[in-house]
Amino acid sequence: MKQALEPTADAAWVLNDDGCDPLRESDRETRFTVSNGFLGARASHAVNRSFRRLVSPNSYVAGLFDTPDTDRPVPERVFAPDWLDVRIGLAGGPLVHHFGQGPSHPLTLDMRRGLALAECRLVEGTAVSVRLGLLRFVSLSRRSLGLQLLHLEVDQGETDITLEASFEGGDHDLISERLEIEFGLWRTHHSGKRLAMAAAVALRIDGQDLPPTALAPLKWSWTWRARPGQVVCLERIVTVARSDGPDQDPGAIVRKELSDARRSGWRSVMEQHETAWANRWSCSDVEVEGDAAAQKAIRFAVYHLNSAANPDDPRVSIGARGLTGADYRGHVFWDTEIFLLPFYILTWPEAARSLLMYRFHTLDGARAKAADRGWRGAFYAWESTDTGLEATPEQAVGPDRQIIDILTGAQEQHISADVAYAVWQYWQATGDDEFLVAAGAEILLETGRFWASRAQPEADGLHHIRGVIGPDEYHEAIDDNAFTNVMARWNIRRALEVAAMLGERWPAEWTILCRRLDLDEADLGHWTGVAETLATGLDPDTGLFEQFTGYFDLEDVDLAAYSGRSVPMDVVLGRERTQRSQVIKQADVVALLALLPEEFAGETGATNFRYYEPRCGHGSSLSTAMHGLVAARLGDVEMALDYFHKTAAIDLADTKVAIGGGIHIAAQGGLWLMTVFGFAGLSLRSDGIGLAPHLPASWLSLGFGLQWRGRSLAVRIDQTNQKLDVSLESGQPMIITIYGQPHSLSLDQALVTDIKRPRQSDDRSR
């Protein structure tokens, strides 16, 4: 067992934390979480001074939602019982954590193997001393499985020690239906979901099995005489299953999974898990040479991205904090489609498809939301759980402790276009016609129908969308938000395009779909008119998009004067003044430039970026990545690199950003976006992919893999020798465009070409 607790030797693959700051303990628990898209287990302080559990992470199960019985109920993901609980004590009290010289409680995240490791030392005065090594993971190969190993060595002292392993928590969130020695079954209070867990636990002393001295449901206890040199090993395998209806029996699933795992043994379980991680890394690793901090940051990002998705469950999606924390109650936002889907589409298409099928399965909830407000089509929930119904809270406590109304659920409507954008991007990159015909087309058509219903004609001959919130949530109830309107127009046009495509290529399926959706040529004609006359806020003389009607008339606040602030700008200025100012919470027009660069002709992209970048206060973790992506595309790579490291610091640095509530998974997706779509200049085209690399000066090289319509590609950008090398590792020949010039690529014909040097930063970009 001891060998299994040794981390990967290459420091570029491990994250270490030797500190022990109680005020930042929840941040460490988040950062070192292990997850597989179904199960999540936060890391925890291995030891406490009191006789309490040695391992106390919160445990999460994807899709396990319930709605509390309150005046204003908001659906939330409930905690699962903590299957990692361990306590160790002596007859006269606990063994306590020794806070001596050097690292007091080192934690290690082995990203290559997908597991978390911990060490600590327990003492009883000067008489007894033991060293502990701990390991945990949730299996990437068999997502219902989790494993915990504990390796204990007695340094000194001879005494009776008691070790207890149990399941803790979940009492308030779940109702116990059945508890046995190795099995538990619970149900939620209101949603009708059930959770089953089973466990096999064994303790060995110097290689010999020690039977438990006490047993209770999901609780095992051993007492033995400890002596110096003694080696004690605890092994615990857990299996977990969730059911969403009465016709499913999660208990049968976990019993069978446990029987299989017990038969194969923990070493086999770990070996399969490590193989699955090796396969994921072979498809998704990003290699940066010359910038060790950037390499660690992008590996950390890819680790958490690979940990967050489950391609086997199309009924769940990825919440704003994944399975790493409780913030936002596990709710799903636009983060998934805009910041995460590109990674999955191009490295793990199966996961991307499953995440989009979640949006298909929640389409009825989106239709209901639109109908409730008098519109047609699909208006997706701003915060979504398992049903697709709107889950945004109506009120919250503001920074000044005042109750404020939350309007995003009603007014932040660009979510429907964001979902459509991800559907189209997936189909474009994969060529998955089966998905398009069975699910994707319906999403595109129903979201297109929503926008055609939502936009209203006015006396100026244009269609307007009034009373919305754009990505910049500092400004509410605004009219004709540029991001919302241009994305809506794009959405309608893609809906019309897919309608024409289905009619031509799949006429029988198109006829059935039209009948089911009550869709006819008159509807499509109306949509065309809306798209052609939708107000966008573009000034043809300056090339600037006005973020929303009246934005240019607001107070222009110099954010440079507040550069040393430690709180968001809406706290500095106050909510009312912020709303009267041009201060932006997060990328809005800049986000539009990132997603639809074709909407910005000639130099207008740079013009808009130069205008809006200095006005953004980055009050959201989503913002810096969008700005970095656009800066890199525009060739200002040093500014982009600054945004890259600021984005990485959100979850990796102990800064003013608190991460106790979970990893900012969209920021992690943003790091990958900046790297691949920004510095490598990747673009998705109808005839293939394009690359236009501009690397930071400190990056000697950048390498990554891509999946494109059944093909596997390897890209390496060598800045030292100013060369770009693209090879096709599997699949049919294709066209790849480099700086606008097409090149042929085949299995026997790799592409090697020159790259351009990035331009230097200038003050105008700031």
* First and final C-alpha spacing in the chain: 54
pLDDT at residue number 593: 98
The answer to whether 135 and 149 are in contact (CB under 8 A) is yes
Question: Is residue 419 over pLDDT 90?
Answer: yes
Going by C-alpha positions, the residue among 360, 359, 335, 355 that lies closest to residue 412 is: 335
Q: Which residue has tokens 């507040």?
A: 562
Q: What percent of the chain has pLDDT over 90?
A: 84
pLDDT at residue number 48: 39
Q: Which residue has tokens 């589409």?
A: 345
SS (H, E, C) 670-704: HHHHHHHHHHCCCEEECCEEEECCCCCCCCCEEEE
Question: Is residue 362 over pLDDT 50?
Answer: yes
State how far the Cα of 359 lies from the Cα of 420, in Å rounded to an integer.
Answer: 10
The answer to whether 142 and 128 are in contact (CB under 8 A) is no
The answer to whether 647 and 670 are in contact (CB under 8 A) is yes
Lowest mean pLDDT among 39-43, 192-196, 397-401, 626-630: 397-401
Q: What angle do CA 762, 604, 614 make, to 5 degrees?
A: 50
User: For residue 3, what pLDDT band results from cuts at 50, 70 and 90?
Assistant: confident
pLDDT at residue number 656: 57
Q: Extract the tokens encoding 446.
A: 């129903």
pLDDT at residue number 136: 96
The answer to whether 179 and 167 are in contact (CB under 8 A) is no
State how far the Cα of 732 lies from the Cα of 728, in Å rounded to an integer.
Answer: 8
Question: Is residue 98 over pLDDT 70?
Answer: no
DSSP symbols for 567-606: S-HHHHH-HHHHHTB--BSS-SHHHHHHH-GGGS-TTHHH
CA distances from 167 to 28, 152, 234, 465 (A): 22, 20, 15, 52
Helix and strand counts by DSSP (H, E) for the chain: 22, 33
Question: Is residue 212 over pLDDT 70?
Answer: yes
Q: Is 473 a known active-site residue?
A: yes
The backbone torsions φ and ψ at residue 54, rounded to the nearest 5 degrees and listed phi first, read: -80, -30
Going by C-alpha positions, the residue among 3, 41, 220 that lies closest to residue 133 is: 3
Going by C-alpha positions, the residue among 283, 412, 424 that lies closest to residue 341 is: 424
pLDDT at residue number 761: 45
CA distances from 277 to 62, 204, 272 (A): 20, 29, 9
The backbone torsions φ and ψ at residue 264, rounded to the nearest 5 degrees and listed phi first, read: -80, -25
Q: Extract the tokens encoding 359.
A: 């949006």
H or E stretch including 445?
helix 441-454
State how far the Cα of 240 lies from the Cα of 242, in Å rounded to an integer.
Answer: 7
H or E stretch including 252?
helix 250-264
Q: Would you state the torsion angle of the CA atoms of residues 742, 745, 750, 752, taken in this order, to the nearest 10 degrees?
A: 10
Q: For 129-172, how does the pLDDT look when each residue is reduced to its tens digit (9 = 90+)?
A: 899 999 999 999 999 999 999 999 999 989 999 999 999 876 57
Q: 117 CB contacts (<8 Å, ≥6 apart)?
A: 5, 7, 107, 108, 109, 110, 133, 134, 135
Question: Is residue 22 over pLDDT 80?
Answer: no
DSSP symbols for 623-642: HHHHHHHHHHHTT-HHHHHH
pLDDT at residue number 173: 80
Q: For 370-403, how does the pLDDT look when each residue is reduced to its tens digit (9 = 90+)?
A: 999 999 999 999 999 999 999 999 998 876 778 8
Q: For 37-87, how does the pLDDT look when each residue is reduced to its tens digit (9 = 90+)?
A: 999 999 975 543 333 444 445 899 999 999 988 878 899 999 999 999 999
Q: Extract the tokens encoding 110.
A: 């082995």
E strands of 125-213, at which residues?
128-138, 145-156, 159-168, 174-179, 183-188, 194-205, 208-209
The arithmetic mean of pLDDT across residues 272-295, rounded, is 98
Alpha-helix runs per DSSP H in 285-347: 292-308, 335, 341-347
Q: Extract the tokens encoding 697.
A: 């000066």
Q: Which is it for strands 115-124 and 96-97: parallel, antiparallel or unpaired? A: antiparallel
Q: For 656-693, how does the pLDDT look when each residue is reduced to its tens digit (9 = 90+)?
A: 567 899 999 999 999 999 999 999 999 999 889 999 99
**Average pLDDT of the residues of the chain:** 93
CA pseudo-torsion sign 644, 648, 649, 651: positive
CA distances from 402 to 391, 397, 568 (A): 22, 6, 17
Strand order in the sheet with 76-80: 34-35, 39-41, 59-66, 76-80
Q: For 639-664, how does the pLDDT look when each residue is reduced to its tens digit (9 = 90+)?
A: 999 999 999 999 999 775 678 999 99
Alpha-helix runs per DSSP H in 196-249: none
pLDDT at residue number 107: 92
State how far the Cα of 121 lies from the Cα of 663, in Å rounded to an integer.
Answer: 28
State how far the Cα of 703 lies from the Cα of 286, in Å rounded to an integer.
Answer: 6
Q: What is the CA radius of gyration of the chain?
A: 27
Q: 508 CB contacts (<8 Å, ≥6 apart)?
A: none
pLDDT at residue number 276: 98
Which residues in 589-608 are b (16+ Cβ under 10 Å) and which e? bbbbbbbeeebbeeebbbbb
pLDDT at residue number 571: 92
Q: Extract the tokens encoding 727.
A: 């090879």
Catalytic residue among 274, 473, 476, 546: 473
E strands of 450-534, at which residues?
456-457, 463-464
The answer to whether 29 and 118 are in contact (CB under 8 A) is no
Which amino acid type is present at position 512?
A: I
User: For residue 245, what pLDDT band results from cuts at 50, 70 and 90?
Assistant: confident
- Cβ atoms within 10 Å of 405's Cβ, excluding its own: 10
Which amino acid type is present at position 673?
A: L
Q: Maximum Cα–Cα distance for the chain, whole Å?
A: 90
Angle between helices 266-284 and 292-308 (to 10 degrees): 120
pLDDT at residue number 566: 84
Going by C-alpha positions, the residue among 517, 495, 494, 497 that lies closest to residue 505 is: 497
Q: What percent of the chain has pLDDT over 70?
A: 94
State how far the Cα of 709 lies from the Cα of 345, in Å rounded to an integer.
Answer: 10
State how far the Cα of 183 lies from the Cα of 179, in Å rounded to an integer.
Answer: 6
Going by C-alpha positions, the residue among 140, 397, 173 that lies closest to residue 274 is: 140
CA pseudo-torsion sign 20, 22, 28, 33: positive
Q: Extract the tokens encoding 287.
A: 């290699």
State how far the Cα of 383 lies from the Cα of 4, in Å rounded to an integer.
Answer: 41
The answer to whether 196 and 185 are in contact (CB under 8 A) is yes
Q: For 448-499, how does the pLDDT look when each residue is reduced to its tens digit (9 = 90+)?
A: 999 999 999 999 999 999 999 999 999 999 999 999 999 999 999 999 999 9
